[in-house]
Amino acid sequence: MSRRPGFVLEVDKSTPPTLFWNGEGFTVETLPEGSRVIYAPEPMKALDDPYGAIRHALLNPLGDRDPLPALLFAGMKLTICFDDVSLPLPPMEAPDIRQMVIETVLDMAADAGVDDVMLVAALALHRRMTEDELRHALGHRVYDAFAPHGLLTQHDAEDPENLIHLGQTDGGEDIEINKRAATSDLLIYVNINLVAMDGGHKSVATGLASYRSLRHHHNPQTMQHSKSFMDAPASELHSSNWRMGRFIAEAGVKIFQIETTLNTDTFPKSFEFLQKREWEWNLRDRASYAASSAALGKAPPRLARQIFHSIKSPHAMTSVQAGEVEAVHAVTTENVWAQQGVDVTGQTDILTLGLPYICPYNVNSIMNPILVACLGLGYFFNLYRGRPLVREGGVLILRHPTRPEFHPGHHPSYIDFYEQVLTETVDPVRISKEFEESFATDPWYIHLYRTGHAYHGVHPFYMWYWCAHALEHLGRVIIVGGDPKAVRRLGFSPASSLNDALEIASDVVGPSPTLTHLHAPPIMMADVH
Amino acid sequence: MSTLLFERSLPRFAAARIASSFGSGRGAGVGPLRLLDHEAPALPGDGWVHIDPLLSGICGSDLATLDGRSSRYFEDIVSFPFVPGHEVVGLLTDDGVAADGRALPAGTRVVLQPVLGCAARGIEPPCAACAAGHVGNCERVAFGHIRPGLQTGYCADTGGGWSTSGLVAHASQLFPVPEGLSDADAVTVEPVACAVHAVLGAGIRDDDVVAVLGAGTLGLTVIAALTHLASTGRCPTPRVVLVGAKYAHQQRLARAFGATEALPPIQLPRAVRRSSQSLSFGGDPGETVTLSGGADVVLDCVGSAESIAQSLAMVRPRGSVALVGMPGKVTVDLAPLWHREVRLAGAYAYGTESDPAAGSARAGRAAGSAGPVKAAGSAPAVKVGGRKGAAAPPKEISTFELSFEVVAAQKTGSLVSATYPLARFEEAVAHAGSAGRRGAVKIAFDIAKGRTR
């Protein structure tokens, strides 16, 4: 049976209520007649033989790169870097793509007699992965072969001994990246390209960089000029990473890029209804929805969180390409759009989103209010190419409990950002000027980042900057069902129901607005004409 | 004439203690406090005058007494029965003399400096502390020609502010109120004087990180005093003043008085840690329990076991904790104090202070020039004063004189949230006991007019 593409439904009298994610739960809402609902394309067919496809990609590289075996030789220094726990979402069922790719690469390295191999988790300023997370990403065989010997490391952006400053781009951007990776004979980077902005030069220029480098593009100005992150030619974030990436290549760092794409088969059988169109729900889907939403509604948030974070996604690899960074990324981006792209005609006055329990920065953790803002305004709002789904001055309505809860071990600086920065201002530019440096250089945050499992002190700032484009574009942001105090702290308006939210929105967009609901996840990207 | 008289009565004391376990101030109706017809006390001797109170505040120490929570330490330095009320603005009924020797005609509006030192007690020569001007540290508060009592409001011979029949005061206790100050401003002069004394004795240095725990009357007046004294060169200028304030109105007032940040007490250690760039140990990863460094100075304006423990966990090694709030019998782990060589000192009352601004160029900035300790956000404070360049040696100045300045500059009368007639003392005391929860700060008795507002 052929795969159905993405679809824009116009709500009429016969349309059943629409599913909205609501953190660690979900609900259904009856949307006004004439509203649009955007559904993701159905999952592409998975590769029949992923190991074979990986091997084929390594032997048939794209762009100006020799096949991988030709780049491997005895006595060389080889560093294999890989995406961290923030990808994919939700974490995938074993075997993880990183495991499959790295096992194949290691087989080739072994055949070539390469002894000096180091694995590096490309954390940038993210938290260090736990042993369980590393074992899941790499498989027990790889973990046990490398970790006990200190050959499996995690990038430490605060380790002066293992950073190298390669210079500055023409734009004055500092390039300071992982020394081991930069000084290797070959740097292999293994990507999971969940969305179009993943991969490319961003892999090394961001994933292996220090704060000194990252601050050049992780700032309000860059984010405000990235329209959107998913649309490379219109993204200043992309441009900056590309300048840096080309500089790194010219500096002599030899990169062999491996990129992979996934289908949108996001949830296991028990939650299959979450990715189906509501009018196609069968009896079992309806029963699953009723039972799970009732149970989750009664479960304490902590238990509901545990249940959801134990989900392993069945999404499968749809493509793998390897070789020179830009050549690889061009094909990858096409493949991502082929899976996730949906044609949408015209913008809307109101965009509604149900936010799920997970974003890249709370895997096995808590979705705190700052991450709620980032997921809604930084990620989902930016899932477009061309024009934003919602018109300038329009309203974004999110659904999420937005509890003022934080994981102190993972997000220590987020707590202080929430209590000590957002109480002063929500303006990203002012926040950047007045507060960023003191958080970025705070020795306690640095200590926790380096020795524990904490995001870097500056990370909540970056999350807020991700919202900068949306904050500038939107007339109002409303969160339905959120903790009112927390929602106000973010600078948004709380609403107890969707109807209340529409009432509040009418002050901005008038009494008869157009409304569009993005039925995500599964992840999709709107090509707005 | 109505007077609230506090009598020694063990059953009533026990009843107050039980009632107050349901909330501070709940025990006023069943405790040792009674509303009686009572005559003004006789003048104890030369130099004493009668005062008719206008406003008389309810202080945290009054509440502790009424709740039966006061330390037994005080038993021998008070005398029963007494009329509470030591935060008093009133009118002289006779001609008198001020503490500074000025003649005061009858009808002059005065503020009472309530400490009963050697001068008031007719003790000659005065004790060493009184001779040095540190009347708050008087060594003779249980002696002399009046009965024991560390302050007016705790002495059987002087009466107190919670009375329409008046009280008696010695010349050494009288400070005339300047024209521009309202009665509400004036009734805050005494607590502000406590704050001034605490701030000047806390050992604050330029660029220090200062934490203030608690934002009731004491905490807020400490912030107001610190801001004014720093901006007029009376004390060094801290880099940041971080305040733990439980309630939203307290946070707002703390910021208005010049705090850099005011936030719930539970978050104060995190703010102190960030400002002092400390590490933290103890608890789960990422939690802030004990700071490796911490604030240079903590002013504990609560005085509970919890606040003292929190102060010790937030102060840096060799830093200082000033106990401004009146503590009782508390159980606190002093290991961090010992290990970190923290100086823990009380801050009681007032007396005479060194005034580095007097006689120097900075003196000209003294009056009415209060401004925030820190301009805005987290940027360093603008230093107005400072030790460098002082043109003359420090001069001694009465704490009350400085307090009048602070009150005028910071308009601390705004802290008076409600007044009650004496007849409604139960409501008044209950309101004072729950002031924070009810959005209030200072509750006072309106003795002159019996107004409720």
CB of B124 closer than 8 Å to CB of B113: no
Q: Do B285 and A442 touch (CB under 8 A)?
A: no
A-to-B residue pairs, Cβ atoms closer than 8 angstroms: 55
* Gap from A383 CA to chain B (nearest CA, Å): 33
Higher pLDDT: B43 or B385? It is: B43
The sheet that has A515-519: what strands, in order across it? A7-10, A36-39, A515-519, A348-354, A390-399, A476-480, A493-495
Cis preceding linkage at A88, omega within 30:
yes
Q: Do B274 and A416 touch (CB under 8 A)?
A: yes
Could you tell me if B225 and B344 lie in one domain?
yes
Which CATH number fits the domain that encloses residue A146?
A: 3.40.50.11440
Could you tell me if B291 and B153 lie in one domain?
no
Per-residue confidence band for B124, with pLDDT thresholds at 50, 70 and 90: very high
Looking at the DSSP assignment, which residues form a beta bridge with residue A209? A177
Among the partner-chain residues A408, A410, A443, the one whose CB lies closest to the CB of B277 is A443
Where do we find the tokens 């733990």? B244
Q: In A81-164, which ranges are continuous DSSP H helix?
A: 97-111, 131-146
Q: What is the pLDDT of residue B26?
A: 85
Does a structural domain hold residue B298?
yes
Low-confidence winner among A117-126, A268-277, A375-384 (lowest mean pLDDT): A268-277
What is the rounded distance in angstroms from the CA atom of residue A393 to the CA atom of residue B69?
59
Per residue in B351-384, pLDDT (tens digit) is 999 987 765 444 433 333 333 343 333 333 333 3
Low-confidence winner among A44-48, A122-126, A253-257, B356-360 (lowest mean pLDDT): B356-360
Domain count, chain A: 1
Could you tell me if B11 and B106 lie in one domain?
yes
Residues of A in contact with B273 (CB under 8 A): 444
Interface test with A, best of B263, B274, B288 (most A CBs within 10 A): B274
Question: Which chain B residue has its CA at the smallest distance from A454's CA?
Answer: B286
What is the rounded distance in angstroms from the CA atom of residue B228 to the CA atom of residue B238?
12
Does a structural domain hold residue A437?
no
- The residues, any chain, with a CB within 8 Å of residue B354's CB and separated by 6 or more, are B200, B394, B395, B396, B397
Q: What is the pLDDT of residue B187?
A: 98
- Give me the phi and psi of B368, to 5 degrees please: 60, 25
Which CATH number fits the domain that encloses residue B307?
A: 3.40.50.720
Sign of the Cα pseudo-torsion (A16, A21, A25, A30, in order): negative
Residues of B in contact with A409 (CB under 8 A): 284-286
Tokens of A457: 């002190």
Question: Which chain A residue has its CA at the smallest distance from B279's CA?
Answer: A444
Say whether pLDDT at A307 is over 80.
yes
Among the partner-chain residues A423, A435, A452, the one whose CB lies closest to the CB of B285 is A452
Does a structural domain hold residue B316?
yes
Q: What is the pLDDT of residue A154?
A: 98
Could you tell me if B358 and B236 lie in one domain?
yes
Q: Do A453 and B280 touch (CB under 8 A)?
A: no
Say whether pLDDT at B193 is over 50.
yes
Among the partner-chain residues B261, B267, B285, the one whose CB lies closest to the CB of A409 is B285
Question: ipTM of this complex > 0.95?
Answer: no
Does a structural domain hold residue A120?
yes
- Tell me which residue range forms the domain holding A212: 50-262
Interface test with A, best of B260, B266, B270, B273 (most A CBs within 10 A): B270
Among the partner-chain residues A435, A442, A454, the one whose CB lies closest to the CB of B286 is A454
Q: Do B277 and A407 touch (CB under 8 A)?
A: no
Q: Do A434 and B277 touch (CB under 8 A)?
A: no
What is the rounded distance in angstroms from the CA atom of residue A256 to the CA atom of residue A330?
15
Interface test with B, best of A419, A437, A441, A461 (most B CBs within 10 A): A419
Q: Do A447 and B279 touch (CB under 8 A)?
A: yes
Per residue in B383-407, pLDDT (tens digit) is 333 334 445 667 899 999 999 999 9
- Tell me which residue range forms the domain holding B339: 194-395
Does a structural domain hold residue B183?
no
Could you tell me if B15 and B151 lie in one domain?
yes
Could you tell me if B420 and B389 lie in one domain?
no
Q: Do B271 and A410 touch (CB under 8 A)?
A: no
- Mean per-residue pLDDT of chain B: 90
Is this structure's pTM higher than 0.90?
A: no
Question: Which chain A residue has its CA at the smallest distance from B280's CA?
Answer: A444
Among the partner-chain residues B263, B271, B378, the one whose CB lies closest to the CB of A434 is B378
By percentage, how much of chain A surpasses pLDDT 90?
Answer: 99
| Cα of B274 vs its chain's centroid, Å | 29
Does a structural domain hold residue A250?
yes
Could you tell me if B271 and B300 lie in one domain?
yes
Could you tell me if B172 and B295 lie in one domain?
no
Residues on chain B bordering chain A, Cβ-to-Cβ distance under 8 angstroms: 261, 263, 267, 270-271, 273-274, 277-280, 284-287, 377-379
E-assigned strands of A317-470? 317-323, 341-344, 348-354, 384-385, 390-399
Could you tell me if B212 and B344 lie in one domain?
yes
What is the rounded distance in angstroms from the CA atom of residue B414 to the CA atom of residue B436?
15
Q: Do B274 and A411 touch (CB under 8 A)?
A: no
Does a structural domain hold residue B453?
no
What is the rounded distance in angstroms from the CA atom of residue A222 to the CA atom of residue A203?
18
Say whether pLDDT at A82 is over 80.
yes
Per-residue confidence band for A1, with pLDDT thresholds at 50, 70 and 90: low
Question: Rg for chain B (alpha carbons), in Å?
Answer: 21
Residues of B in contact with A439 (CB under 8 A): 274
Could you tell me if B272 and B331 lie in one domain?
yes
Q: What is the pLDDT of residue B388?
A: 42
Question: Which chain B residue has its CA at the smallest distance from A438's CA?
Answer: B274
Q: Do B271 and A420 touch (CB under 8 A)?
A: yes
Q: Do B285 and A416 touch (CB under 8 A)?
A: no
Give the pLDDT mean for B136-147: 95
Helices (H) and strands (E) in chain A, counts: 20, 20
Per-residue confidence band for B22, with pLDDT thresholds at 50, 70 and 90: confident
Q: What is the pLDDT of residue B450?
A: 61
**Which class for A186: exposed (0-12), middle (13-18), buried (19 or more C-beta within 10 A)?**
buried
Residues of B in contact with A128 (CB under 8 A): none
Looking at the DSSP assignment, which residues form a beta bridge with residue B212? B243, B299
Tokens of B132: 């040095």
Q: Do A452 and B263 touch (CB under 8 A)?
A: no
Does a structural domain hold residue B278?
yes
Among the partner-chain residues B274, B285, B286, the one whose CB lies closest to the CB of A420 is B274
Domain count, chain B: 2
Q: Do A420 and B261 touch (CB under 8 A)?
A: yes
Whether A408 has its CB under 8 Å from any CB of chain B: the answer is yes
Task: Give the angle A122-A126-A132 at the CA atoms, nearest 5°.
Answer: 75
**Which class for B422: exposed (0-12), middle (13-18), buried (19 or more C-beta within 10 A)?**
buried
Does a structural domain hold residue A100?
yes
Task: Dump the DSSP string for A265-286.
Answer: --S-GGGGGGGS-GGG--HHHH
Among the partner-chain residues B274, B286, B377, the one whose CB lies closest to the CB of A434 is B377
Does a structural domain hold residue A515?
no
- Give me the phi and psi of A237, to 5 degrees please: -60, -45
Per residue in A103-129, pLDDT (tens digit) is 999 999 999 999 999 999 999 999 999
Residues of A in contact with B267 (CB under 8 A): 419-420
Q: What is the pLDDT of residue B392?
A: 62
Q: Do B270 and A435 touch (CB under 8 A)?
A: no
Residues of A in contact with B260 (CB under 8 A): none
Q: Do B278 and A444 touch (CB under 8 A)?
A: yes
Residues of A in contact with B278 (CB under 8 A): 443-444
* Gap from B279 CA to chain A (nearest CA, Å): 5
Among the partner-chain residues B261, B277, B377, the one whose CB lies closest to the CB of A442 is B277
* Gap from A215 CA to chain B (nearest CA, Å): 20
Question: Which chain A residue has its CA at the smallest distance from B378's CA?
Answer: A434
Could you tell me if B11 and B160 lie in one domain?
yes
Residue A307 — left, alpha, or beta (φ > 0 → left; ψ -120 to 50 → alpha)? alpha
Among the partner-chain residues B280, B285, B378, the one whose CB lies closest to the CB of A438 is B378
Does a structural domain hold residue A132?
yes
By percentage, how much of chain A surpasses pLDDT 70?
Answer: 100
Per residue in A141-171, pLDDT (tens digit) is 999 999 999 999 999 999 999 999 999 999 9
Task: Dump the DSSP string for B77-145.
Answer: G--SSB----SEEEEESS-EE-TTS-EE-TT-EEEE--B--TTTTT-SSPPHHHHTT-GGG-TTTT-SS
Does a structural domain hold residue A140?
yes
Residues of B in contact with A452 (CB under 8 A): 285-286
Q: Do B284 and A424 touch (CB under 8 A)?
A: no
Which CATH number fits the domain that encloses residue B22?
A: 3.90.180.10
E-assigned strands of A464-524? 476-480, 493-495, 515-519
Whether A130 has its CB under 8 Å from any CB of chain B: the answer is no
Interface test with B, best of A127, A410, A420, A437 (most B CBs within 10 A): A420
Residues of A in contact with B252 (CB under 8 A): none
Residues of A in contact with B277 (CB under 8 A): 442-444
Task: Give the angle B95-B96-B101 at the CA atoms, nearest 5°.
Answer: 140
Instruction: Tell me which residue of A278, A271, A376 sits closest to A313, measured CA to CA.
Output: A271
CA atoms within 13 A on the CB side of A459: 25
Does a structural domain hold residue A116?
yes
Per residue in B236-280, pLDDT (tens digit) is 999 999 999 999 999 999 999 999 999 999 999 999 999 999 999
Could you tell me if B428 and B385 lie in one domain?
no
* Gap from A420 CA to chain B (nearest CA, Å): 7
Looking at the DSSP assignment, which residues form a beta bridge with residue A165? A176
Q: Do A407 and B287 touch (CB under 8 A)?
A: no
Does a structural domain hold residue B229?
yes
